[in-house]
Amino acid sequence: MSQHHHHDHDDHSHLSEIELRVRALESLLVEKGYVDPAAIDALVETYEVKVGPRNGAKVVAKAWADPAYREWLRKDATAAIASLGFIGRQGEHLVAVENAPDEHNMVVCTLCSCYPWPVLGLPPVWYKSAPYRSRAVLDPRGVLAEFGVSLPETTHIRVWDSTAEVRYLVIPMRPEGTEGMGEEDLAQLVTRDSMIGTGLALQPEAMR
Amino acid sequence: MNGAQDLGGMMGFGPIQIEQDEPWFHAEWERRAFGLTLAMDATRSWNIDMSRHARESLPPAEYLTSSYYEIWTRGVERLAVAAGLVSDEELRLGQSLAEPAPIKRVLKAEDVPAVLARGGPAERPIEQPARFAVGDRVRTRNIHPRGHTRLPRYARSRIGVVELVHGAHVFPDTNAHGQGEQPEWLYTVCFSGRELWGQDADATLTVSIDAWESYLEPA
């Protein structure tokens, strides 16, 4: 698919089949007047530059630092997250699920790739792939092991399969030794995977 | 439909391919395919359930061997043909052979932030009360619709407990086929790992799905 063959007899001969296919589709839809190429640029720029897991990290850090916010997040995550400016497509109905010493949450979409875009950005390839989608609901501990996460045998594993338009954000456990840290520093400990449930928050030593 | 998209519980796909410092897109064509898909969604020529169904009803061998943005590209092609916006011949040539069809809206760059911010909320008002409450035991129906559904095979005919009641949401099974939104109450239903996968399952496992009311009956 990503093989590149260079020939000089045709301008497009170095393009793969899918590259040609997408190019043909865009030319046609633009020629018909259905699509403005500048809108495509703006959409791509939004998700490459403006939206990403730093948004979710701010939500988590605030939940760790501010008990009133955490309570709001539990009761109405959509509103609590919107209050930080994170709204819109694929985040219309949000639920925050909190990890605890005896319960670990993990999110998957077995049917497609549902993912909370406003707080995490676009999903990584593995999240959309067959190995993760097939096994997350059947063998989550095996999946976690591949991410280097090993939980106590007694920890309850809670998997959320997002089959509707509700999107789930995992609030990882706050690492020990972070007392007194401000929200900005706390947010540095929050990884994308820790908010999907395939990772844990970083230990503060990792930041030194 | 029982298509290749319904992956929960399948085996043999191998290890998860984790990429460190993964870029948002792996090639320029992925950027264009992503943007084209969202821009065409914004024309309101189809809805999100139709989009999902267009991707998920690809032949299983094609679905499983295509990358995600290839699936999206094929989805837009199918939708645009089905909506009468383009012909197969035009797609093949990448060139217009006929007058454009009337379209409800063309997304302009300056409108992108507002359109994304608005999103597509799925909750709708509903008159009838919810049939189930938090804590109720329910059984998912054993259904195999030929059309679109969001009830995964692994969770059919299984007993679970209602954990959350989300309000009434657009029903994908009808909305995907132009049969209206027909909103229904939506519930998060939890199943024990053993209920889903049998006695050998991890005893600490609970899996939930979000299920529309008509997927459920009292248990």
| Domains observed in chain A | 52-207 (3.90.330.10)
SS (H, E, C) chain A: CCCCCCCCCCCCCCCCHHHHHHHHHHHHHHHCCCCCHHHHHHHHHHHHHHCCHHHHHHHHHHHHHCHHHHHHHHHCHHHHHHCCCCCCCCCCEEEEEECECCEEEEEECCCCCCCCHHHHCCCCHHHHCHHHHHHCCCCHHHHHHHCCCCCCCCCEEEEEECCCCEEEEEECCCCCCCCCCCHHHHHCCCCHHHHHCCCCCCCHHHHC
Among A110, A119, A129, most B C-beta atoms within 10 A, so best to mutate, is A110
Beta-strand relationship, B205-212 and B184-192: antiparallel
To the nearest whole Å, the CA of B178 is away from the closest chain A CA by 18
The answer on pLDDT for A207 being more than 80 is: no
**What is the reported pLDDT for B175?**
98
Per-domain boundaries in chain B: 28-118, 123-218
Residues of A with a catalytic annotation lie at 109, 112-114
* Shortest CA distance from B68: residue in chain A: A128
Q: Quick one: closest CA in A to B204, which residue?
A: A156
A153-182: pLDDT as tens digits: 999 999 999 999 999 999 999 999 999 999
From the first residue on, what is the mean pLDDT of each consecutive set of 10 residues in chain B (219 residues)?
97 97 97 98 97 97 96 98 97 96 97 96 97 98 97 98 98 98 98 97 97 98
For A92-144, the pLDDT digits (tens) are 999 999 999 999 999 999 999 999 999 999 999 999 999 999 999 999 999 99
Determine the pLDDT at residue A205: 85
State whether ipTM is beyond 0.95.
yes
A36-60 confidence digits (pLDDT tens): 999 999 999 999 999 999 999 999 9
Tokens of A176: 């020990």
As annotated, the binding site of A for Fe(3+) includes 109, 112-114
Confidence check: pLDDT of A7 > 50: no
Which helix (H) or strand (E) covers residue B199, if one does?
Answer: none
What pLDDT is attached to residue A11? 60
Residues A65-101: tens digit of each pLDDT: 999 999 999 999 999 999 999 999 999 999 999 999 9
CATH 1.10.472.20 fits B28-118, yes or no: yes
The SS3 call for residue B129 is coil
Distance from CA of B96 to the nearest CA of A (A): 6
Q: Which CATH class is domain B123-218?
A: mainly beta
A-interface mutation test, from B6, B69, B77, B112, most A Cβ less than 10 A away? B112
